[in-house]
Structure 1
Amino acid sequence: MRGAKLGWLLPLLMATPAAAKSIPDREAIARTAQKAMSATGARGLAIATIDRGKVVSVQAFGERNAKGDPLTPHTIMYGASLTKAVFAYSVLRLVDEGKVDLDKPIAGMLTKPLPDYGNLDAYGNWGDLAGDDRWRTITPRIVLNHSTGFANFHFLEPDEKLRIHFDPGSRYGYSGEGIMLLQFGIEKGLGLDAGKEIQRLVFDPLKMPNSSLVWRPDFAANLADGWEIDGKAVPHDERGRVRAAGSMDTTISDLANFAAALVSGQGLSKASRNELLRPGLAIRSRTQFPTLDGDAPAGEQPTGVASSVGLITFTGPQGAAFFRGGHNDSTGNTLVCLEKGQRCVLIMSNDVRAEAAFPMIVRDILGETGAPWRWIFGDMKFV
């Protein structure tokens, strides 16, 4: 009988999340950063840590430009697609205010059919969707869990025309164009200015004074340029248009405050906070990019990885967790958070070569999280 009882107990013990390791001190994190920069050749790297929903460490290392000016915690860096997480949070704030419904079609926000707006340089080529009424089914939730059926952007299509590749809501396919559709619905349909709403709902309450979705002249005094994969230095873009898919400039200090709010649920109702961690759509692709590759064979699909409202959720040895990244040719950013202990590592780099060290950095600080690095980065060789 005793053996039978142990037999029932063993699966429960095996399912219990691993004990969390202590967050390393600043000196240990600095050693990890230097190891990452030495291994990858990256010239600039910033790391913030969150524990129990509070920012406990923010540090920057290396250089912000080819002149050798130091990268600091207050240097303006490109947020890239971490902008999408900020936008998702702001949409959830609008849900709490009763202005947006995650599951009502965006078509209902608009005063005329989407294709009738034509092709708008500021948003998207909506006129290309004439003849395919599936756009009528796209909701804010479908946009935020990246299942619109759009390519990442219409200009990546061979003919540069926007089209729907699969039934909206049926599978994951990363799309910045989808994010722009929701921004369009909020601005043209609800009459709200997305940039001003994000300032009101995110940047002001979360104490992010050096964050903006458009270029500000005061950013120039302490600005990070970048380095591409071949080590070429490139200047920082001055983005003059609010694009919820990725126009944010920010600092590691500002964005650490946002990460702490995200993992703790600050500013959100309980229902909206739960949407962030609810695995809404199972991910079945082998890797995140290319975005339209379709389902991998069953044995090659990531296990327990799903898209939620603005995040990628997964379950690892320490339990429920989420991820959000940001990337361009000279930028590598990532945020990995554990629900247990409300712990996060936020990494920003103005040198895309640093991405090869991201798994090592996260592991050194949080322990093994089970983050789906191969799905995120494909065949990259990690250090």
Structure 2
Amino acid sequence: MTKSIHFLLLLFLFFSIRTNAQAGKSNPVFENDIAIENWLRENNVPVLGIGIIEQGKLKQIKIFGEIKKGITAPYNTIFNVASLAKSITSMVALHLVNSGKWNLDEPIYTYWTDPDIANDPRSKKLTTRLILSHQTGFPNWRWMKENKKLSFDFEPGTQYQYSGEGMEYLRKAIENKFKKSIEQLASELIFQPLQMNDTHYIWDKNTDESRFAIGYDKEGKPYELIKNKKANAADDLHTTIGDYGNFLVHILEEGNLNKNVYQEMIKKQVKTKENKYFGLGFEIYDLGNGELALSHGGSDKGSQCITFILPDTRQGILIFTNADEGYKVYEDLLINYLGEKGKRIIEIETKN
């Protein structure tokens, strides 16, 4: 299982746009579906899924490409959307907070303390708020450390650092308290109510392999298909454009959260760069004039995916691809479907 991080996805986008600008070029404008199909073939991207949200409704689902040689990708293609798992896990936690069963600011050491940091007093400062806004002080993954052990890079709550370890830490605490897996809790709180029947953290007997978009590298070679049997709160979520689009519409409808919890979710908890912040489970782009865009992306081997929703205008876009080079399509699609707001997002992301 790969453990890539969201900022790499956006870094790829940055370099793609900057390189084109330096060369006096722009990405091809997709005037029609045929242009998109041609682009996919030229860039070794087998499948592209697009979901368009307008007026708070999932209005369009478009799937391009072939799931296998000679087989058109179906309307309900299943993608590995990597770190988009984090937004689902975040909403599980926020639903528990909303019902009074979990506390956003209670230290979680009584429910889980990782053995690697059991003797570090900073472990008692970890809260759900700090985890969902990526202020734990943890690295993205412990295996990136030389000794492969979890440790703090800084005092919790003092700065931002994207961390999959934080989400896994929260998963273990929640599972220990409620005696249910994150898959069970997500199913009860999110998947079943929203009829997200093709969305799972794990690969089980109900997963339809014939609809699954296997990942490809930049040379157009497939990666090995890994069928995860253990849930990861931060990575490797399987879903469809339809399922995840309905989840984002649910967020636009304030996620069935009370006003206070919803406002905490979209509050600028920590600044990550100019006009960009992290809330609880979502990145926040300040578009100006009081308008925000909520976003999250996913980047793994053979998976490049990104989502944006705009609460004020009730718009949104989902872009799922099953290839390392899939990020190259983002700029044009954001501009095509979100117009000036898409341009503003790109400006914020590429500004030094």
1:290-346: CA deviation from partner (whole Å, max 9, x where unpaired): xxxxxxxxxxxx312111100110112572111100110100110011122211000
Q: Which residue is equivalent to 1:55?
A: 58
The alpha-carbon deviation at position 29 of structure 1 amounts to: 6.8
Q: Which structure ranks higher in relative contact order (CA pairs < 8 Å, sequence separation ≥ 6)?
A: 2
Inter-partner Cα distance in structure 1 for 2:157 and 2:329? 33
Cα distance change of structure 1 residues 179 and 42 upon mapping to structure 2, 3 Å threshold: same
Cα distance change of structure 1 residues 373 and 77 upon mapping to structure 2, 3 Å threshold: farther
Q: Which residue is equivalent to 1:209?
A: 197
Matched, 1:239 2:228: yes
Inter-partner Cα distance in structure 2 for 1:69 and 1:143? 42
How many residues are aligned here? 319
1:313 corresponds, among 271, 276, 284, to 284
Matched, 1:69 2:41: no
Q: Which residue is equivalent to 2:345?
A: 371
Cα distance change of structure 1 residues 35 and 323 upon mapping to structure 2, 3 Å threshold: farther
- Residue 64 of structure 1 aligns to a residue whose secondary structure is strand
2:88 corresponds, among 79, 86, 106, to 86
- Residue 110 of structure 2 aligns to a residue whose secondary structure is helix
TM-score by length of 1: 0.78
Return the letter of the residue paired with 2:116: D
Q: Which residue is equivalent to 1:354?
A: 326
Q: Is the 8 A contact 2:274 2:348 kept in 1?
A: no
1:177-196 counterparts in 2 under 5 A? 177-196=165-184
Matched, 1:279 2:251: no
1:1-383 counterparts in 2 under 5 A? 30=33, 33-34=36-37, 36-37=39-40, 40-65=43-68, 67-110=69-112, 114=113, 126-218=114-206, 219-283=208-272, 302-316=273-287, 319-369=291-341, 370-371=344-345, 375=349
Cα distance change of structure 1 residues 154 and 373 upon mapping to structure 2, 3 Å threshold: farther
- Residue 285 of structure 2 aligns to a residue whose secondary structure is strand
1:161-207: CA deviation from partner (whole Å, max 9, x where unpaired): 11100111111111111000000110113323211110011111111
- Listed as ranges, the gaps of 5+ residues in structure 1 are 1-26, 115-125, 284-301
Flag the structure with larger Rg: 1
Inter-partner Cα distance in structure 2 for 1:260 and 1:83? 16
TM-score by length of 2: 0.84
Return the letter of the residue paired with 1:164: F
The alpha-carbon deviation at position 32 of structure 1 amounts to: 6.7
- Listed as ranges, the gaps of 5+ residues in structure 2 are 1-29
Return the letter of the residue paired with 1:95: V
- Residue 309 of structure 2 aligns to a residue whose secondary structure is strand
The alpha-carbon deviation at position 136 of structure 1 amounts to: 0.6
Q: Is the 8 A contact 2:111 2:177 kept in 1?
A: yes
Q: Is the 8 A contact 1:40 1:357 kept in 2?
A: no
30-39 or 181-190: bigger deviation: 30-39
Inter-partner Cα distance in structure 1 for 2:121 and 2:226? 36
The alpha-carbon deviation at position 263 of structure 1 amounts to: 2.1
- Residue 325 of structure 1 aligns to a residue whose secondary structure is strand
